[in-house]
Amino acid sequence: MKPDVPDARPPVEDPGDLQVKPPKTWAVGFPAVASAMSQIVMKSGLRGTRALLDLNQSGGFDCPSCAWPDPDHHRSIAEFCENGAKAVASEAMGKTIGREFFAAHSVEQLAEQSDAWHDLQGRLTEPMLLEEGVTHYQPVGWDRAFAILAEELRALVSPNEALFYTSGRASNEAAFLYQLFARAYGTNNLPDCSNMCHESSGTALKAAIGVGKGTVTLEDFLEAETILCVGQNPGTNHPRMLTTLAQAVANGAKLVAVNPLKEAGLTGFAHPQEVLGLLGRTSPLASTYLQVRVNGDLALFRGVAKAILSVGAEDVPFLCEHVSGYESYRSQVEGTAWEEIETLSGIARVKIEELAALMVRGERRVITCWAMGLTQHRNAVATIREITNVHLLLGAIGRPGAGLCPVRGHSNVQGDRTVGIWEKMPESFMEALDQQAGIVSPREHGHDTVASILAMHRSEAKVFFALGGNFAQATPDTDFTAAALRNCRLTCHVSTKLNRSHLVHGRRALILPCLGRTDRDHGRFVSCENSMGVVQSSEGRLEPVSTELLSECEIVARMAEAVAGDVGNIRWRWLVEDYDRIRDWIEAVVPGFESYNERVRQPGGFYLPNAAKERRWNTDTGKANFAAGPLDAFTPAPGCLILQTIRSHDQFNTTIYGMNDRYRGIGHARRIVLVNPDDLAERGFKTGDLVDLISVWEDGERVAPRFQAIAYDMPRGSAAAYFPEANALVPVRSTAEGSNTPTSKSISVRITASC
Ligand SMILES: Nc1nc2c(c(=O)[nH]1)N[C@H]1C(S)=C(S)[C@@H](COP(=O)(O)OP(=O)(O)OC[C@H]3O[C@@H](n4cnc5c(=O)[nH]c(N)nc54)[C@H](O)[C@@H]3O)O[C@H]1N2
Ligand SMILES: Nc1nc2c(c(=O)[nH]1)N[C@H]1C(S)=C(S)[C@@H](COP(=O)(O)OP(=O)(O)OC[C@H]3O[C@@H](n4cnc5c(=O)[nH]c(N)nc54)[C@H](O)[C@@H]3O)O[C@H]1N2
Ligand SMILES: [Mo]
């Protein structure tokens, strides 16, 4: 019997024939190529194959799957990875859904289907409206859709009752126009996926080194002596990064993995573009693997700092010239006991000292990379500050082969922020924007993602507009967020594919279908910024599946025209006719985009300036800042485990491509929970048992039923389940200090037998 779960959550499917094999010890190779090709053939056939040839090539389109950079030179003919291919296969589908599909399926029926089923239905083709009280979406036509938006947005008492969410796939051009519209309309309510993603990195790095971005390029990896990969699973989420890591290791670098789970992509790699790799020859990657306790990284890096200081290996000239706050940091470190460090990190002192020894050897060319394993904890900002502290101690920043590398997720999430998608852009940006646009932007900070959910819940925000993404599933506390969205007068999504956010709707709802990365846009191209600050053009070449599709830029401009009209110097239609004009405006407003139109046409694009990379510190002190604070680590409620929510190998965020997690050895199931074997046995369960997960927080308990337990190698006291199935367990008010990012990697859960 299928238990009912509240209807905003992915439905609970019958437990299938769960397969559990030993996790893999190496990634990519032939199985990855085979999996990529089968997805392409199955989902998008010739269209997908054609698109793959353009993927990440100069003059082609930017891979929609992640933000790892392409080599500046020497791109191979197939500069893609398995999961990039899956993303392309999903977008390039020739299958479509239009009015007949929506006439045949009510919203309620669609909600009963799985996320994987939604993705398989095909591309959206025409604007659809769900009127109040009706059961089915109906075709609406673009003019009427924009008129509805104008009617609803103009009816608000204040522009701050509207929310304009962005997912990180939007191009620089679309994102710039979008924030310009929001500000011309009168609000800074620009929540984005970054609020749930690398916000903690931006917050920490801005305060520490004056720029909220990483400081390394691909070239630095080739010169590095030591590379740390902390809290990330590149084999699945950034597979092209493995090529870079393998090159670095071949050049003599030592790779250190810090992760509670032994992720295959970090232990070994078989190159997919080399014959020997295809035949199964693997290169070992991490020479040291530290299975840190979940949320034990702050303690671990404090230990590294202590070990560096105890042997007097700090970079004194660098510290004298470039930093502020060293003395108080030093005394904080010296006052931290090894015992506390070992308990909280779960790593023995001797191992920490070995890690420090690796980092101080040679010329201390150290790079530290990280992703969601660090950013989604309550003390995420403090943890990233601690990593920065260690780099400052070593002077390992702003010189070749050394620096900090937050590895971004969505392919243009970094660019969106650069061009103004933020609820609290600095005054310098606002002034430049006002000057160029001839408007007066509001200065009151807007809502981020969590604040947006709370505002909708309190009925203080009434129109929710999303440029991409799947807000209802990506956000924490699924039932609470659904209630918030249902409080709205209008919810509107600009999307390529059907997703659950279309089904968790306000009084009225609109779906506005747009062109994707792979689609031809009347000969126009857009641009994106990757994880290392390179801005590149992206141009799709596939014939769009419907003549009704508009580009994201056009949708934003036409909405803006209908809602706000031409104001100040803004002529929406004129701006959007030729994207060069939008780029000219970006150049006028955002520093670093000089000769944007010329340089973006160069093969490989151009680097944005990065002051920290040149050891110029745009901070409050004019120096790089140490941060000193006490140690802590998340302690679950009594009897509970720390649950982290992660991605399987067969998904892109909320888009589910398949039911397997090949590298972790898990097949045919998504509703699973990995648990430390002793913790599982202690609770009287074994692999395959059906359990309910109950999260425990100060405001009460949340239940997610019917997960199959799997005993898995991870530190005592920890568990892991997939996002978005486990999002219902994440309390909306449980967020990181300083960045307000939901704590999706540390949730207290109890496990009970499923009845
Ligand atoms: N194919 C594919 N590619 C993607 C995505 C996708 O869904 N699919 N998503 C994209 C996006 S938006 C993002 S942000 C990135 C996400 O990329 P990742 O950050 O790699 O994604 P997660 O699956 O959340 O993996 C988190 C990793 O951190 C580890 N971890 C958890 N808690 C801790 C901790 O306390 N300490 C340490 N040291 N490690 C910890 C987990 O074991 C896991 O290996 O990937 C991007 N690329
Ligand atoms: N529990 C838990 N929750 C998490 C995370 C976690 O690790 N654990 N990770 C968080 C992270 S890192 C992120 S970045 C967020 C992601 O949050 P989002 O960015 O909101 O979610 P996605 O699943 O990436 O969005 C997928 C949808 O985007 C639409 N789409 C795809 N391509 C395009 C396009 O080119 N244009 C437009 N307009 N739409 C498009 C499709 O309709 C698709 O259904 O989720 C966060 N939520
Ligand atoms: Mo992300």
Distance in angstroms (rounded) separating the CA atoms of residues 356 and 195? 32
The pLDDT tens digits of the residues spanning 246-277 come to 999 999 999 999 999 999 989 988 777 676 66
- pTM over 0.85, yes/no: yes
Parallel, antiparallel, or unpaired for β 162-166 and 651-652?
A: unpaired
- Helix (H) / strand (E) element for 736: namely none
Average pLDDT over residues 38-67: 81
Strand partners, 711: 675
Distance in angstroms (rounded) separating the CA atoms of residues 387 and 242? 22
Average pLDDT over residues 377-405: 98
Is residue 535 helix, strand or coil?
strand
- Helix (H) / strand (E) element for 336: namely none
Report which residue type is found at 39: Q
Q: For residue 642, what are its two tokens?
A: 């720390």
Q: Which residue has the higher pLDDT, 419 or 34?
A: 419
Is the C-beta atom of 654 inside 6 A of ligand 1?
no
Q: For residue 268, what are its two tokens?
A: 């070994």
Is residue 256 helix, strand or coil?
strand
Is the C-beta atom of 231 inside 6 A of ligand 1?
yes
Are 499 and 118 contacting, i.e. CB atoms less than 8 angstroms apart? yes
Give the E-state strand segments of 131-240 in sequence order: 138-139, 162-166, 226-230
Structural domains in the chain, CATH included, are: 35-197+412-607 (3.40.50.740), 199-406 (3.40.228.10), 636-753 (2.40.40.20)
Ligand sitting nearest the alpha carbon of 550: 2
Going by C-beta distance under 8 Å and a sequence separation of 6 or more, which residues neighbour residue 168? 67, 192, 193, 194, 197, 408, 409, 410, 411, 412, 413, 414, 416, 468
Are 632 and 344 contacting, i.e. CB atoms less than 8 angstroms apart? yes
The pLDDT tens digits of the residues spanning 284-298 come to 899 999 999 999 999
The pLDDT tens digits of the residues spanning 200-259 come to 999 999 999 999 999 999 999 999 999 999 999 999 999 999 999 999 999 999 999 999
Is the C-beta atom of 469 inside 6 A of ligand 2?
yes
Task: Give the pLDDT of residue 1.
Answer: 41
Average pLDDT over residues 559-581: 97
To 10 degrees, what angle do helices 172-185 and 427-437 make? 80
Q: Which of 372, 379, 651, 739 to mutate for ligand 1's pocket (most ligand atoms within 8 Å of CB)?
A: 372
Task: Give the pLDDT of residue 398.
Answer: 97
Average pLDDT over residues 547-566: 98
Q: Give residue 231 CA to ligand 1 midpoint distance, Å.
A: 7
Confidence of residue 76 (pLDDT cuts 50, 70, 90): low
Residue with tokens 């070994």: 268
To 10 degrees, what angle do helices 239-250 and 82-91 make? 160
Average pLDDT over residues 418-424: 98
Strand partners, 709: 673
Confidence of residue 2 (pLDDT cuts 50, 70, 90): very low
Are 402 and 364 contacting, i.e. CB atoms less than 8 angstroms apart? yes
Distance in angstroms (rounded) separating the CA atoms of residues 154 and 34? 52
Is the C-beta atom of 290 inside 6 A of ligand 1?
no
The ligand 1 atom nearest the CA atom of 649: 1
Q: Which residue has the higher pLDDT, 435 or 50?
A: 435
Q: Give residue 355 CA to ligand 2 midpoint distance, Å.
A: 35
* Largest interatomic CA distance in the chain: 72
Q: Give residue 200 CA to ligand 3 midpoint distance, Å.
A: 12
Going by C-beta distance under 8 Å and a sequence separation of 6 or more, which residues neighbour residue 476? 196, 450, 453, 727, 730, 731, 732, 734, 742, 744
Average pLDDT, the chain: 94
Task: Indicate the DSSP class of residue 44.
Answer: I
